[in-house]
């Protein structure tokens, strides 16, 4: 049996049917030394207040559901040991997102942005099945692998100061996931995506605060993707001015 | 207490039927905690704006001939002006260091068949050019070239 320590949890509550604005509730939780923040939230939900709402699923930093602000920092709660926090822990919903209830934020805005960057392989002409698979070397995979590790946890959006000020900004995760396909040797849709990156909510809104990369639990480095997309978008635009047929094949 | 974000931040184009609480900016933004360095970086823009006005004024005064030039020189000896230029120097160094730190990750994984050099070498090249340019400029301004 591990050591037990009482910690105070100050948790944001918001019931859209009752509350005008979000408020806070405080819970005292007997925490075991090996607990993560999510374990304490589960204890509150199971033992103290069953109405507490939050998202979680895998408990191993893969699904990206349990992102919240813990002591002000965007964090995956299943990956954050309670031992790294003090006697009082503040848990709030992710910044920059509208709040649906308690710690649950509205993700539809992100889903729209993600769809807008076309995060799938675009081919000018699909190969016939009998022509075999699209082959890719380990070196070609290495070009984009880092950006494909995104788990859509939204911590990068919660940390970005631009997202909160410019509603049209596509944002870190969506750009990283779109740019990932630009780097994929099987893809032929880079020009299409670069036009989106240059358009409404463009990559050039990013002022390179780098906070998205600082908080990313999977080391995806979205700031790198955004700033590489700035350069490739610019090169693509310049090529479209000087090359025949706008540089399109 | 976090500031309010833009009310439309991360809102879907077609809002759902449930009323939502408005989005908040990240905790501590802009003046506290993790955002201090970034905000300081952005704030240096004001220094460069002021510097631009000072240089424009100096150029304007040169139109008044030798008396104008002497006026500019006198103004540059003012302790406030010296203090401002020291602040500008600190700002430039800070921006340079931050830029060199972030520069490698902004490079594409390859340009054609060529991959960029490792981050440490890229940073080394940037610092070498910076130090080299500074030394040459110092030599020129000290009268070495004339």
User: Is B19 domain-assigned?
Assistant: no
**Among A108, A144, A183, whose Cβ lies nearest the Cβ of B16?**
A108
Other C-beta atoms closer than 10 Å to the C-beta of B50 total 13
Q: Are A97 and A167 in contact (CB under 8 A)?
A: no
The answer to whether B5 contacts A208, with C-beta atoms less than 8 Å apart, is no
B62 versus A83: the higher-pLDDT residue is A83
Residues contacting residue A104 through CB under 8 Å, at least 6 positions apart? A53, A54, A55, A93
Task: Name the band, by pLDDT with cuts 50, 70 and 90, for residue A248.
Answer: low
Please tell me if residue B109 touches chain A, with a CB cutoff of 8 Å.
Answer: yes
What's chain B's average pLDDT? Answer: 92
Query: Which residues of chain A does CATH 3.10.20.30 include?
Result: 4-105
Question: Is the same domain home to B73 and B37?
Answer: yes
DSSP structure class, residue A122 = -
Q: What is the pLDDT of residue A74?
A: 97
What's chain A's average pLDDT? Answer: 94
Please tell me if residue B138 touches chain A, with a CB cutoff of 8 Å.
Answer: no
Name the maximum alpha-carbon separation found in chain A: 72
Q: How large is the angle between the packed helices B36-62 and B79-102, nearest 10 degrees?
A: 130
Express the helix, strand and coil content of chain A in percent, nearest 5 each: 40, 15, 40
| Host domain of residue B97 | 24-106
Q: How many CA atoms lie within 13 A of B88 on its CB side?
A: 14
As for how many domains chain B has, the answer is 2
pLDDT digits 0-9 by tens, A69-81: 999 999 999 999 9
Q: How does A66-93 read in b/e, with b if 16+ C-beta sit within 10 Å? A: bbbbbbbbbbbbbbbebeebeeebbbbb
**Among A92, A106, A208, whose Cβ lies nearest the Cβ of B10?**
A106
pLDDT digits 0-9 by tens, B26-73: 998 988 888 999 999 999 999 999 999 999 999 998 888 889 889 889
Residues contacting residue B120 through CB under 8 Å, at least 6 positions apart? none
Residues of chain B contacting residue A228, judged by C-beta atoms under 8 Å apart: 106-109
Nearest to B11 by CA among A113, A215, A72: A113
- Direct distance between the N- and C-terminal alpha carbons of chain B, in angstroms, rounded to an integer: 60
The answer to whether B105 contacts A224, with C-beta atoms less than 8 Å apart, is yes
Question: Is the same domain home to B35 and B99?
Answer: yes
A219 versus B34: the higher-pLDDT residue is A219
Q: Which helix (H) or strand (E) holds B45?
A: helix B36-62
| Rounded Cα–Cα distance for residues A174 and A226 (Å) | 10
CATH topology of domain A108-247: Fumarate Reductase Iron-sulfur Protein; Chain B, domain 2 (1.10.1060)
Tell me: pLDDT of A196 over 80: yes
| Rounded Cα–Cα distance for residues B8 and A108 (Å) | 12
pLDDT digits 0-9 by tens, A30-78: 999 999 999 999 999 999 999 999 999 999 999 999 999 999 999 999 9
Q: What is the pLDDT of residue A247?
A: 60
Tell me: pLDDT of A249 over 60: no
10 Å CB burial of residue A38 (0-12, 13-18, 19+) is buried
Q: What is the pLDDT of residue A1?
A: 54
CA of A62 to nearest chain B CA: how many angstroms apart? 23
Please tell me if residue B108 touches chain A, with a CB cutoff of 8 Å.
Answer: yes
Quote the tokens at residue B133: 């340019």
Q: What is the pLDDT of residue A33?
A: 94
User: Is B31 domain-assigned?
Assistant: yes
A-to-B residue pairs, Cβ atoms closer than 8 angstroms: 131
Q: Are B43 and A118 in contact (CB under 8 A)?
A: no
**Among B23, B26, B34, whose Cβ lies nearest the Cβ of A98?**
B23
Homologous superfamily, domain A4-105: Beta-grasp domain (3.10.20.30)
CB within 8 Å of chain B, chain A residues 160-219: 160-161, 163-167, 171, 183, 207-211, 213-214
Q: Which helix (H) or strand (E) holds A91?
A: strand A88-92
Residues of chain A contacting residue B110, judged by C-beta atoms under 8 Å apart: 143
Q: What is the pLDDT of residue B98?
A: 94
How many Å separate Cα A133 from the centre of its chain?
Answer: 31
The answer to whether B10 contacts A157, with C-beta atoms less than 8 Å apart, is yes
Express the helix, strand and coil content of chain B in percent, nearest 5 each: 65, 5, 35
Question: Is the same domain home to B84 and B127?
Answer: no
pLDDT digits 0-9 by tens, B89-108: 999 999 999 999 999 999 99
Q: Which helix (H) or strand (E) holds A101?
A: strand A99-101
Write down the ipTM of this complex.
Answer: 0.88
Would you call A246 helix, strand, or coil by DSSP?
A: helix
pLDDT digits 0-9 by tens, A117-154: 999 999 998 889 999 999 999 999 999 999 999 999 99
CB within 8 Å of chain B, chain A residues 77-136: 92, 95-101, 105-106, 108-112
Question: Is the same domain home to B92 and B54?
Answer: yes
Tell me: pLDDT of A2 over 70: no
Residues of chain B contacting residue A104, judged by C-beta atoms under 8 Å apart: none
B22 versus B62: the higher-pLDDT residue is B22
CA of B139 to nearest chain A CA: how many angstroms apart? 34
In percent, the amount of chain B with pLDDT more than 70 equals 99
pLDDT digits 0-9 by tens, A145-194: 999 999 999 999 999 999 999 999 999 999 999 999 999 999 999 999 99
Q: What chain B residue is nearest to A233 in terms of C-alpha separation?
A: B108
Q: How does A215-237 read in b/e, with b if 16+ C-beta sit within 10 Å? A: bbbbebbbbbbbbbbbebbeebe
The answer to whether B102 contacts A210, with C-beta atoms less than 8 Å apart, is yes
Query: Which residues of chain A does CATH 1.10.1060.10 include?
Result: 108-247
CATH of residue B61's domain is 1.20.1300.10
């Amino acid at each position: 049996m591990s050591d037990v320590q009482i910690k105070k949890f100050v948790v944001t509550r918001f019931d859209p049917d009752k509350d005008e604005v979000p408020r806070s509730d405080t819970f005292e939780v007997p925490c075991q030394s090996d607990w993560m923040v999510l374990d304490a939230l589960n204890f509150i939900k199971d033992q103290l207040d069953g109405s507490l709402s939050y998202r979680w699923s895998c408990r191993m930093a893969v699904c990206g559901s349990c992102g919240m602000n813990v002591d002000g920092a965007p964090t995956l709660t299943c990956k954050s040991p309670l031992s790294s926090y003090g006697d009082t822990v503040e848990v709030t919903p992710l910044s920059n997102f509208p709040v649906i209830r308690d710690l649950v934020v509205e993700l539809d805005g992100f889903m729209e942005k993600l769809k807008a960057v076309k995060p799938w392989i675009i081919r000018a002409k699909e190969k016939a099945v009998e022509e075999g698979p699209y082959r890719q070397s380990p070196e070609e995979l290495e070009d984009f692998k880092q950006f494909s590790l995104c788990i859509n946890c939204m911590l990068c959006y919660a940390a970005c100061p631009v997202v909160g000020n410019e509603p049209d900004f596509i944002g870190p995760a969506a750009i990283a996931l779109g740019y990932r396909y630009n780097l994929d040797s099987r893809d032929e849709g880079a020009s299409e995506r670069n036009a989106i990156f240059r358009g409404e909510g463009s990559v050039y809104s990013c002022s390179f605060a780098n906070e998205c990369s600082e908080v990313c639990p999977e080391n995806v480095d979205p700031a790198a993707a955004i700033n590489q997309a700035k350069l490739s978008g610019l090169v693509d635009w310049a090529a479209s001015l000087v090359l025949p047929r706008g540089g399109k094949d | 207490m976090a500031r309010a974000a833009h009310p439309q931040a991360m809102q879907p184009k077609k809002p759902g039927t449930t009323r939502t609480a408005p989005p908040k900016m990240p905790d501590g933004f802009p003046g506290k905690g993790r955002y201090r360095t970034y905000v300081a970086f952005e704030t240096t823009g004001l220094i460069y704006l002021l510097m631009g006005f000072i240089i424009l004024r100096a150029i304007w005064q040169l139109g008044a001939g030798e008396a104008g030039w002497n006026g500019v020189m006198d103004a540059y000896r003012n302790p406030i002006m010296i203090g401002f230029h020291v602040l500008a120097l600190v700002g430039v160094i800070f921006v340079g260091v931050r830029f060199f730190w972030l520069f490698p990750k902004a490079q594409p994984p390859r340009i054609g068949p060529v991959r960029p050099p490792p981050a440490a070498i890229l940073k080394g090249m940037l610092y070498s050019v910076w130090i080299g340019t500074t030394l040459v400029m110092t030599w020129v301004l000290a009268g070495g070239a004339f």
